[in-house]
Structure 1
Amino acid sequence: MSKLTIVANIKAKADKIDLVRAELQGLIETTRAEAGCMQYDLHQDNEDPAHFMFYENWESRERWQKHMGSQHLQDYIAATEGAVEEFTVNEMTVIA
């Protein structure tokens, strides 16, 4: 298994920033306790409060895929339906 780094960018709609932030924060404790989760840190842009970013490290892509199918992530998606303007995920590998 090779380590996988995830950079997930979430852009909330301007009137939904507080909702998205609260729902994202609600993912942290449960996700950090998942098998294979090595790091799961949420950031908020200093200039654009609607922009959130998760920096994640997983033991493997398989462990991350299991996370992506988890109930708590599905609950987040349902709770923020219509509140997120943009969502992008980059799967990254450390090279140096």
Structure 2
Amino acid sequence: MTQLTIVANIHAKPDQIDLVKAELEKLLPITRAEEGCLQYDLHRDNDNPAHFMFFENWESRELWQKHTAAPHLAAYRAATDGAVAERTVTEMTHIG
């Protein structure tokens, strides 16, 4: 198995920043306890309070994909439906 790094960028709509932040924070303890989660850190852009970024490390792509189908991710998506302006997820491999 190859370790997988995920960089996920979430841009909240300007009037929905507090909602999106609160919902993202709910994911932290649940996800950190998931099988295969090595690191799950949430960051916020110092110059743009609507921009959040997750930096994640997973034991494998398969375990990360299991995470993406988890009930707490579905609950997050439902709670933030219409509140997120843009979301990008990049799968990466550590090389050094």
Q: TM-score range by the shorter chain?
A: over 0.9
Percent identical:
68
**SS in structure 2 opposite 1:47?**
coil
Which residue of structure 1 aligns with residue 69 of structure 2?
A: 69
Given the two structures, how large is their TM-score scaled by the length of structure 1? 1.00
Aligned length: 96
Please, which runs of 5 or more residues in structure 1 have no aligned partner? Answer: none
How far apart are the structure 1 equivalents of 2:95 and 2:26?
A: 31
**SS in structure 1 opposite 2:29?**
helix
What letter matches 2:56 in structure 1? E
Which residue of structure 2 aligns with residue 16 of structure 1?
A: 16
**SS in structure 2 opposite 1:81?**
coil
Please, which runs of 5 or more residues in structure 2 have no aligned partner? Answer: none
Shift of 1:83: 0.1
Indicate the RMSD between aligned Cα atoms, in angstroms.
0.3
